[in-house]
């Protein structure tokens, strides 16, 4: 009933649907296609939007740092609109993960090369950093190529991480 949904939901206005699912245990993905790496993403809304965007663009998988918001956070699941069940992901120590990676590692930076001028290989890792602090220094040291979204205007300081991820994935998938 609606009263029961309100009692068990953390949302002010719970959805009319409740699902009980078994959490799938994904293995660490292969070094093929586009793999999105998230370094310290905190906002559940951003995370859900990023997952949904990955689903849209057919991203191979998402690799999250251990300090990234839980992918099964109720707000993440709600923002992902079902995509959380279609995009493979793992949470892991990124330093350990990158030890076995052979493909180029791209990172999103304000001072990187304009992504429109970059020829992106078929197998690639794209790292997106924390909303306030960007990519952590220890992960920055592993990046082979820094990319940026050209700022056409002159007053905005930066883009939201979910918006930036969407733009970069659009360019990477073309």
pLDDT at 29: 77
Q: What's the rounded Cα separation, in Å, for the pair 10 and 166? A: 28
User: Would you say 96 and 76 are in contact if contact means Cβ atoms under 8 Å apart?
Assistant: no
Angle at 149 between CA 71 and CA 143, to 5 degrees: 65
CB-hemisphere CA count at 13 Å for 150?
Answer: 8
* pLDDT score recorded for residue 31: 80
pLDDT score, position 11? 74
Q: What is the pLDDT of residue 159?
A: 94
Report how far apart, in Å, the C-alpha atoms of 28 and of each of 41, 80, 112, 141 are. 19, 21, 28, 22
pTM for this prediction? 0.92
Q: What's residue 153's pLDDT? A: 87
pLDDT in tens, the chain (174 residues): 888 888 887 777 777 777 788 888 898 777 889 999 999 999 999 999 999 999 999 998 999 999 999 999 989 998 999 999 999 999 999 999 999 899 999 999 999 999 999 999 999 999 999 999 999 999 999 999 999 999 988 888 889 999 999 999 999 997
The b/e string for 10-38 (b: 16+ C-beta within 10 A; e otherwise) is eeeebeeeeeeeeeeeeeebeeeebbbbb
Residues 110 and 135: beta-carbon distance below 8 Å = no
Evaluated on CA atoms 154, 155, 157, 163, the torsion sign reads negative
Nearest CA among 29, 68, 27 for reference residue 47: 68
φ/ψ of residue 132, rounded to 5: -100, -30
In 3D space, the residue among 157, 145, 153 whose CA is nearest the CA of residue 117 turns out to be: 145
């Amino acid at each position: 009933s609606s009263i029961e949904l309100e009692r068990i939901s953390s949302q002010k206005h719970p959805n009319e649907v409740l699902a009980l699912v078994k959490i799938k245990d994904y293995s660490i993905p292969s070094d093929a296609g586009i793999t999105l790496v998230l370094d310290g993403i905190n906002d559940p809304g951003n995370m859900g939007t990023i997952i949904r965007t990955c689903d849209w663009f057919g991203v191979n998988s998402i690799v999250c740092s251990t300090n990234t918001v839980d992918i099964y956070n109720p707000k993440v699941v709600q923002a992902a609109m079902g995509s959380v069940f279609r995009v493979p992901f793992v949470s892991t120590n990124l330093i350990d993960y990158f030890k076995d990676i052979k493909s180029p590692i791209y990172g999103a930076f304000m001072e990187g090369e304009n992504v429109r001028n970059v020829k992106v290989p078929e197998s690639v890792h794209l790292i997106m950093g924390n909303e306030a602090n960007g990519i952590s220094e220890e992960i920055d040291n592993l990046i082979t190529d820094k990319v940026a979204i050209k700022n056409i205007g002159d007053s905005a300081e930066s883009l939201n991480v979910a918006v930036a991820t969407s733009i970069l994935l659009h360019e990477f998938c073309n």
